[in-house]
Structure formats: C-alpha cells, structure tokens
Amino acid sequence: MGLLVRELGTCPYGAVLALQEELVSRKIDGDQNDYLLVLEHEPVYTLGRGANAADLLGADAALGIPSYRIGRGGGVTFHGPGQLVAYPILTLAHCHDVHRFVHALEEVLIRTCAAFTITGRRHDGLTGVWVADAKIASIGIGVRRWTTFHGVALNVSTDLRYFSHVVPCRMPDVRMTSMALELGTVPALAEVRTTFITTFRSVFGYPEAAVEECRV
C-alpha cells in the first residue's frame, strides 16, 4: 500500500470536501492506495459534529465568509491562508483504533513544530497541539467504514483575528497561536509543508510517497 500526496495549493472548501468524498468512496470500493491532501483553504468556517451553530456568533454573515457543517469531530474552527491543512484518507482496517490514529497525527504536528524550534505538546483531555497555554494546531477527523477523512490544521502565519469572531473548538477562553507568532518571523509555508509530509511518512511508516501538484 502506497501513499499518494496531492499538493493542492489554495482551494475553496467545497471542492476539497467533494474530493475527500470521492477518495473515501474509492477506498471503500477497494483502492489500496492511501492519500494525503495538503493545501491552504480560502477563508471558511467549519462546524464539526459537536458544534453549536451559536458558536459562530454570526461571524460568517458579518464577515462574508462561507460556513459548512461537516462530518468531523469537534466544534467551530477557521481555515484560511497561511494555515497548513492536511487531510489523510487512510484505512484503519488493520487496527480499528481511532485514538491511536489521532495520537499519531498529534505526533506529526509536534515533530513538525520541533523542526522549527517550537515546543508543541498535547493537552490532557483535548485533541490538537499546544504551545504553552495556546493552541497552534487543531485536529478533527471523520471515519467511515474504517476509512479516515478530514484531518489537521496547523497555524503557520494564519490571521488569528478570524478565530476571535467565533468560539473556537467549543472553548470560549482558548487562545490561538501560530508558528509566526511564536517565532517572531514568518516561516516559509513550502518548507513547513515539506517537513510535515516527511514527518507524516516517518510517523505512519510509509517508506516512500508519490507527491504531485494538482488543482481541484
């Protein structure tokens, strides 16, 4: 089983959601490849299965930003330029362990941050990755017939003001941060993306990956 990495550039949310659905269906029908979609989104708010629509605080209408209710776990979050988003579409049929999968995603994010001298950590009882008391990366996944979709969002140089207009992750007091804020300088997104892909392969045990640039 190989890993196919698709670097999609900056994409509207709906198009990538449709691509995920297509690939999930393909895998359920027997496709032996695993996929990793890596991209930035045009500005969008998404609401997971645990989200209350009130947590949007009307930000989608006030700011003219689309919002989607989707089949991942978690509450409301923001995606936009300067944020590295990755959607792994993998089979868990060999282990049937969602918690182990989420733990591995956290490990990828922690190691990616460490490569840029940022100390990320887990937070007891919560998903995602934190720097001290601020959240730098979010995780929200879906699983259908042991095939994963949705994924992770790492704030590289994200405009964090978009988070202040909503209740992120159902946590009114959460403080969001970014790699740029922690470093005092903006890291190159292309370098962060390459580091993330290499680290993902290492953590998940893929000896190699085919990487292609494409658009949706």
The catalytic residue positions are: 169
Spell out the alpha helix ranges (H) of 65-213: 98-114, 179-183, 189-204
DSSP secondary structure letters along 85-111: EEEEE-B-TTT--HHHHHHHHHHHHHH
CA distances from 70 to 139, 141, 155, 165, 197 (A): 14, 10, 20, 20, 25
Whole-angstrom Cα distance, residue 104 to residue 63?
A: 35
Work out the angle at residue 153's Cα, subtended by the Cα atoms of residues 150 and 158, and round it to the nearest 5 degrees: 145
Q: Which residues contact 68 (CB under 8 A, 6 or more apart)?
A: 13, 14, 17, 44, 45, 46, 47
DSSP symbol at 42: P
> Containing H/E element for 59?
helix 59-63
> Containing H/E element for 22?
helix 13-28
Instruction: Say if residues 151 and 19 touch (Cβ distance below 8 Å).
Output: no
